[in-house]
Amino acid sequence: MTARASAELIVDLSEAVSGRSLDRRVLMLRRATNLFLSYGRRLNDQQIGTFDDVLLKLVDCVDVQSLVQLSSSLADLDPAPSQTVRCLARHADVSVAYPVLHRSHSFGTEELRELASHLGRKHLVAVAGRQTLDEAVTDILLKRGGNEICRVLAKNAGARFSEDGFKLMVASAKSNPDIAESLGLRSDIAPAMLCQLLLTMSDKQRLALLKAAPPHSRQSIREALDGIASARTGPRTQQDRQAQRLCGERLCRTPGIYKCHSGAGPAFRGPAGKHRALDGAGKLRAPGRGVPSVSAELADDAGHCPQP
């Protein structure tokens, strides 16, 4: 953009802002926006700052629909007039704020934390759907947003969660089957947390989750279900109790424990290599009610017993 074009823009801006014509101000906003879209990647910081000043002066004196168009136009730009983007993100009308909150690269983690701490719930939905989110941001969103925000975050593959964040989502999943399924399909859910989630689900929900899961996730779900079944048999030794606490982990990785998919369920390998039933009766005890029917329905590795 030439110095002459910049000077003409400033003159036209002054006339538009000082005048009473809304159409004139809207026309000026469109002109400034189109110029920035055309030349933005070739502008230096000072020139971007000039556009930022122009747009900021117009934001307060045009209609909402014009601001929605501006927000949509600036949301994907990098670099963007940052002060204008921040102003739009805090606009009371969520239709104005949504595009930049959802897509703009102008916000770092700290600023997103600040926005998540003060914006209303409708604005938080836009933040929750961003392509990537750090744990520091999702923690705040989950504490403030309720089930609607949890639902969006559970489906967002680019969102990362702390242990406390996962606990909040598992708690929401108890009364929201759609959240439970989305959470169970996440590749980043820890085995122990997956176990907690499965304990809140009915057999029907578990079966639906298994059917919806890709192969690598399905295996993790099966192992968690095996762990739940083992826990329900009432472990008696220290090793068995450890297996119960880690019921979401692979049982075959726990010393003294191996897993059998032949229908008998988990068992404990006692001293001298002898197999002792978990119930102490000398026979393998069937897993807890409901769990084996789910695991067996989709098991494709029946009869395979990996040794420890």
Flag whether pLDDT at 289 surpasses 80: no
Q: Give the separation between CA 241 and CA 91, rounded to whole angstroms.
A: 54
Per mean pLDDT, which of 124-128, 241-245, 275-279, 287-291 is the most reliable? 124-128
pTM of structure? 0.72
pLDDT category, 12, cuts 50, 70, 90?
A: low
What's the pLDDT score for residue 271? Answer: 39
- 66-120 per-position pLDDT tens digit: 999 999 999 999 889 999 999 999 999 999 999 999 999 999 999 999 999 999 9
Question: Angle at Cα 254 formed by Cα 252 and Cα 255, nearest 5°?
Answer: 105
Flag whether pLDDT at 285 surpasses 50: no
* Sheet with strand 267-269: strands edge to edge: 257-258, 267-269, 275-276
pLDDT category, 280, cuts 50, 70, 90?
A: very low
Q: What is the mean pLDDT of residues 142-166?
A: 96
- 16-65 per-position pLDDT tens digit: 555 567 888 898 899 889 988 988 888 888 889 888 988 998 998 899 99
Q: Give the separation between CA 204 and CA 210, rounded to whole angstroms.
A: 10
Give the rounded distance of the alpha carbon of 111 from its chain centre.
18
Per mean pLDDT, which of 200-214, 234-248, 263-277, 278-292 is the most reliable? 200-214
Residue-level length of the chain? 308
Half-sphere exposure of 195 (CA within 13 A, CB side): 22
Flag whether pLDDT at 273 surpasses 80: no
Domains of the chain by residue range: 1-106, 190-308
Torsion of Cα atoms, 12 then 13 then 16 then 18, to 10°: -120
| Nearest residue to 141 via CA among 162, 156, 125, 155 | 125
- 183-218 per-position pLDDT tens digit: 999 999 999 999 999 999 999 999 999 999 998 888
What's the pLDDT score for residue 108? Answer: 94
